[in-house]
Amino acid sequence: MSSKKTITMEHGAGGQFMQELIGGMILKNITQRSAGTVGLDDLDDGSTISLPEELEDGAELVMTTDSHVVDPLFFPGGDIGKLAVCGTVNDLTVMGARPLALTCAIILPEGFELSVFEDIMKSMNLAAEEAGVAIITGDTKTIQGNKLDSMVINTTGVGIAPKVIRDNGLSAGDTIIVTGNLGDHGIALLSHREGFDFETKLVSDVSPVNDLLKGPLSLRTEDNQPVITAMKDPTRGGLASSINEMAQKSGVGIVLEESDIPVDMAVNTACEMLGLNPLEIANEGKAVIGVRPEYAEEVLELLRSHKYGANARIVGKAVSENTGKVLLRTSIGSLRQLGMPVGDPIPRVC
Amino acid sequence: MICRNITVEGIVQGVGFRPFVYRIAKNHNICGYVRNTGGRVEIVAEGSQGNIKNFLNSLISDKPDVSQIYSIEQEETDIHGYTDFSIIQSSSDRTPNSILVPDIGICNNCTLELADPQNRRYSYPFISCTECGPRYTVTNTLPYDRYNTSMGEFKPCPICDKEYSSPSDRRFHAQTVCCQECGPQLKFTDSNGQLISHRDNAITDCSNAINEGKIQAIKGYGGFHLACDAFNVESVQRLRERIGRPQQPFAIMVKDIGTARELVHINDREEKLLLSSKRPAVILNIKNETCGHDLEEIAPQLHNIGVMLPYSGIQQMLFRNTSSPAYVMTSANVPGLPMVIDDDIAIRELGHIADNYLLHDIRIENRIDDSVIRSFEHDHVFIRRSRGYVPEPIELPFDVRPCVGVGAELSNTLIFASGNKAYISPHIGNTSHFETSKYHAEVFECFSKLTSIEPERWGCDLHPHFSTTIFAKDNGGDAVVPVQHHHAHLVSLMADAGLERDARMIGIALDGVGYGSDGTVWGGEVLETSYTEHIRHAHLKTHAMPGGDLCSYYPERMVLSMLQGLVDHDELLELPFELKHGQKEAEMVLGQLDKRINVIMSSSSGRVLDAAAALLGICRYRSYQGEPSMKLESIARKAKDRSLELPVNIKDNILDTGRLLLELYRHMDEYTVPELAYAYEDAFSRGVAELAIRSANRTGIDIIGLTGGVAYNEHINYRIRDVIEENGLRFVSHSRIPCGDAGISLGQAIVASLHE
Ligand SMILES: [Fe+3]
Ligand SMILES: [Mg+2]
Ligand SMILES: [Zn+2]
Ligand SMILES: [Zn+2]
């Protein structure tokens, strides 16, 4: 499995191959990998830069970067510009940070239409306005038309976190919450791209979640700890990928109630028709949150009062047994392991 | 006067072997002792040359029915001067080939005593003797002695104790001896576990409840059954609804062989199977005239049904006062999960299914399901090799080094092997369920303990995501050898057929799905096979599976895939699809195929048979494993005109199954559904046989073997065999090991053990 000699699409799919690529090619060859409590090795949504002690009491800067490619550039509910802003804003947010500023580096192929480019910039701006974040520096390169067939936008973001939230902070007993319906982005994109005509119009959920999570992030326990213990944004690989990573890094088991996981009917139908698992489909405006159980209801209420959190649900809990594994309690009452997504699933039903 | 140290290896524990030795020693004036050591029996015999000789002859020729002797070793030693012969306490030292005996169905003597009002065990359901009763299911560890079993919790009363220690008694050293006074007792409860009655009344109440149409959870020695009146259609339907098995056939237990004869055809071979002390469920052909009883609800759209006879005191007594001579008797479990064995869990998890519980206080040490054997016209094959057979070893044609095979995924078993013995586990189930994968690990521990085999090689499937593969890799380290699924099937067959270590066979493996050596999905393969290698010579045409596993549940997806490009798009969509999302989904599937979204290529034969079942409207949704092809087989048997011969297309060693389905489609207006089903199976079989014969001719190998789940189809199995034998080649198939994935573990273990 790990004997690939050239880059394949699977290397970018968020599964096992990508992990091998990161471990074997990137981490291995970079020597200075940390500037704060969270570094490159942690493979979290972002990393932190410690501030000089006299400036802030334990607060850290959080930095993250993401390159965005999407086919097609415009899709129901969004476009590459909005995606480029939200992706980075959301990565900062799930680190517990308030986004401050973004960079924007763009690579364009020769022949790209200027009017399209402008539409994308306008969309970027709208998203940045909504998120309340400035775009303060950037770069533009062009590449010969036959070497790149679409545009790439890289955004790097900086935010400040009074208390950094990690993806490894779950303890047994913590409640797991998702902030809304899963799979909207991936299925909307797929059906639009491939021309599948599903009954209902599917729309991507791409949106900044910083405002949605502002309330829950500000909650503190009596001894002044965040009530949120761990958080991730379930992008590539969907909930399956995020929650497995959280379980493995935190050293807990997780039991999810399948019937409690919110999935839009149309997305579910599309997945049923194509044989896809909605829990493995990408989201661009959601968060998976671990919460101290006694605050779960409060967090849920805060989320639900926000326009992006109306469908937030408690979906399960962290447990002390079966560490590193995510189990799904199915409708017939049996438990099924929800594994890391692995590219194209290999049939196994005899 | 001489003295001999004699060691007997075989099935010699828990079958009354030591009492037998005691008796013949006494008969031949032998002094000394007999005792169990681990899995063997050790005898020290002093006597005259002549007496020793007679003693040894009798040891071999008069041994108890259920015992088996693999070897007798003896050596001359110094005279100790014993004055009597005795049975002495088991030594606790262990030998690598510890052998534990399977559970044995109630014997004739115990049956008579149970029904005899004069006998002290009249109506005592836990009656047993040295020749019958639970063994494997109650044993915690070897050697097999009462204190190592869950019967150890019941202290024998003075009378039982006397029987136990009287050499002339037929319960002499019967580890499970007990009676009404000292042994386990029954209780009957409601669905919440609230006591209703106990002892004798419990059985009467339970059979009355069955008469009233209620569903009962009945605890046996190896697990729980769900039971109801087989002839009460409403009860059966209620059971189906509650357990969530809308179509899956249930096995039935009938009062006696006479009742069985009224319902199904039974030949001498089948009668022997039914009545054997192993008491498997045998799948037999239903009689057209079943004395007014309708078996359709029990085995919907099938021509055959699993039948078994009572094998315990409880079961015999349940049929005493009943108005029905046949009960549905199915393992109590959530589909795919291990059968329930714990009282509390049973009450918690079966509460919505069972109206009552019939419980007893014997702890189940080892879970075991009923064995299931599919009978064909001339022979039979295991579907599930469990109670009565497990943990009896399978003898291998050559020695292997200590190894384990962890199995595949569905209907899984695991196996420990060493030397020429292979110990296959009971049915484990579908290990994709987390609970079942945990049970798999428990069975691993249990068999590791019972066999004392420390594996030097671990065989597992090539499929990287099976929980069994992950289990092997987590625990076996460098000793793990992934084995291609169909190679494992075929090696299992070679060992089953007793082929020599250097044998080569042209193997036909027909099943649903197995991860191929080339990373694609296989399932209709002709492999040149040895115990260590496989070369793929031929296979079924590779078709796209739109949506992967979804195709297994909705075989109409395969119809779309196989006919796309052969039948005009609009014409294809005119077929009356019953997909979950209707006609809309059919269109979507065609789009999915065009755009190659979540589409996996496979040469599966299961899907090819499923597609025909779906196209002919026989089965459009699979609610249990094998449903479409089982129903296809049953309906094909009804074909009156068997003259339709669909052409077989082979090109470059690939059988074009797409064309075959197209031919079926083209003839749909001219023939009846049974005729079409028959013709399809026939052409499929001829095509597959032809692929194998070509390989045989090319390689000069003259043995062709058939395995895989599709081999359970009698028509296909026999048709392939006929064509091969008509061509002067030798045909081999399974007799001791299941053809399905339950037989995979054996092949894995052997291939792994031979790996450097
Ligand atoms: Fe198989
Ligand atoms: Mg992220
Ligand atoms: Zn008996
Ligand atoms: Zn007694």
Nearest chain B Cα to A350, which residue? B512
How is residue A13 written in tokens? 């799919």
- CATH architecture, domain defined by B393-497+737-753: 2-Layer Sandwich (3.30)
Q: pLDDT at residue A22 above 50?
A: yes
B130 Cα: distance to centroid of ligand 4 (angstroms): 15
CATH 3.30.420.360 domain range(s) in chain B: 393-497+737-753
Asked if residues B66 and B144 have their Cβ atoms less than 8 Å apart, the reply is no
Q: What gap in Å lies between CA A208 and CA A224, rounded to an integer?
A: 27
Within 13 Å of residue A313, how many CA atoms lie on the same side as its CB? 15
pLDDT tens digits for B657-711?
Answer: 999 999 999 999 999 999 999 999 999 999 999 999 999 999 999 999 999 999 9
Question: How would CATH label the architecture of B2-87?
Answer: 2-Layer Sandwich (3.30)
- Cα–Cα distance, B573 to B592 (Å, whole number): 14
Percentage helix, strand, coil, to 5, in chain B?
A: 35, 25, 40
Sign of the CA dihedral running B72, B77, B83, B86: negative
Q: Is B668 left (phi over 0), alpha (psi -120 to 50) or beta?
A: alpha
CATH assignment of B538-555+574-589+601-732, among 3.10.129.10, 3.30.420.40, 3.40.50.880, 3.40.50.261: 3.30.420.40
- Examine the residue annotation and report whether B475 is marked as an active-site residue of this protein: no
Tokens of residue B132, six digits = 């019958």
| Residue B199 backbone zone (phi > 0: left; psi -120 to 50: alpha; other: beta) | left
Tell me the two tokens of residue B192. Answer: 């919440």
User: What CA–CA distances, in Å, run from B421 to B136, B139, B458, B475, B747?
Assistant: 18, 20, 16, 23, 13
The answer to whether A346 contacts B709, with C-beta atoms less than 8 Å apart, is no
Rounded to the nearest angstrom, the distance between the alpha carbon of A321 and the centre of ligand 2 is: 27
Peptide bond into B143 cis (omega under 30): yes
How many A from CA of B106 to the centre of ligand 3?
A: 5
The whole-angstrom distance between B230's CA and the closest CA on chain A is 25
Which two structure tokens, joined as six digits, stand for B696? 């045989």
Please give the pLDDT value at position A2. 45
At A145 the pLDDT is 72
pLDDT score of B288:
83
Going along chain A from its start, the domains and CATH numbers come out as 48-161 (3.30.1330.10), 174-337 (3.90.650.10)
Query: What residues form DSSP beta bridges with B46?
Result: B3, B31
For residues A38 and A48, the answer to whether their CB atoms sit within 8 Å is yes
ipTM of the complex: 0.87
Name the catalytic one among B4, B35, B36, B40. B36
**Which residues does chain A have within 8 Å of residue B598's beta carbon, measured at their own beta carbons?**
274-276, 344-345
Q: State the DSSP H helix or E strand holding residue A299, giving kind and residue range, or none if neither.
A: helix A296-304
Average pLDDT over residues A194-206: 84
In chain B, CATH 3.90.870.10 sits at 186-373
How far is Cα A294 from Cα A301, in angstroms, rounded to an integer? 13
The contact set of A with B (CB < 8 A) is 1, 190, 194-196, 199, 269, 272-276, 322, 327, 332-337, 339, 342, 344-350
Query: Could you say which of B513, B591, B592 has the minimum Cβ distance to residue A349?
Result: B513
3-state secondary structure of B36: strand
Can you tell me the distance from the alpha carbon of B529 to that of B493, in angstroms, rounded to the nearest whole number?
11
Intervals of CATH 3.30.420.40 along chain B:
538-555+574-589+601-732
Over range A16-23, report the average pLDDT.
79
- Token look-up 């099935």 returns B11
pLDDT at B177: 95
Second-level CATH architecture of B186-373: Alpha-Beta Complex (3.90)
Q: Give the ranges where B554-712 is alpha helix by DSSP (H).
A: 556-563, 569-573, 582-595, 605-615, 627-636, 657-666, 673-699
**Structure-block tokens of residue B233:** 């259609």
Query: What is the dihedral angle through the alpha carbons of B2, B7, B8, B13, rounded to the nearest 10 degrees?
Result: 120
Q: Distance between CA B202 and CA B358 in Å, rounded?
A: 7
Question: Which parts of chain B register pLDDT below 70?
Answer: 90-99, 290-292
Model confidence at A52: pLDDT above 90: no
Residue A50 confidence (pLDDT) = 78
Q: What's the rounded Cα separation, in Å, for the pair B506 and B528?
A: 5
Determine the Cα–Cα distance for residues A177 and A297; give it in Å rounded to an integer: 10
Report how far residue A251's alpha carbon sits from residue A230's, in angstroms, rounded to the nearest whole number: 12
Contacting residues of B for A346, CB less than 8 Å apart: 463-465, 515, 521, 548, 600
CB contacts, 8 Å: B464 with chain A: 1, 342, 346
Any CB–CB contact under 8 A between B581 and chain A? yes
The structure's pTM equals: 0.91
Q: How far is B749 from chain A (nearest CA, A)?
A: 21
Is A1 a residue whose pLDDT tops 60?
no
pLDDT of residue B512: 95
pLDDT above 90 covers what percent of chain A?
68
Whether the Cβ atoms of residue A170 and residue A242 lie closer than 8 Å to each other: no
Instruction: In chain B, list all ranges with CATH 3.30.70.100.
Output: 2-87
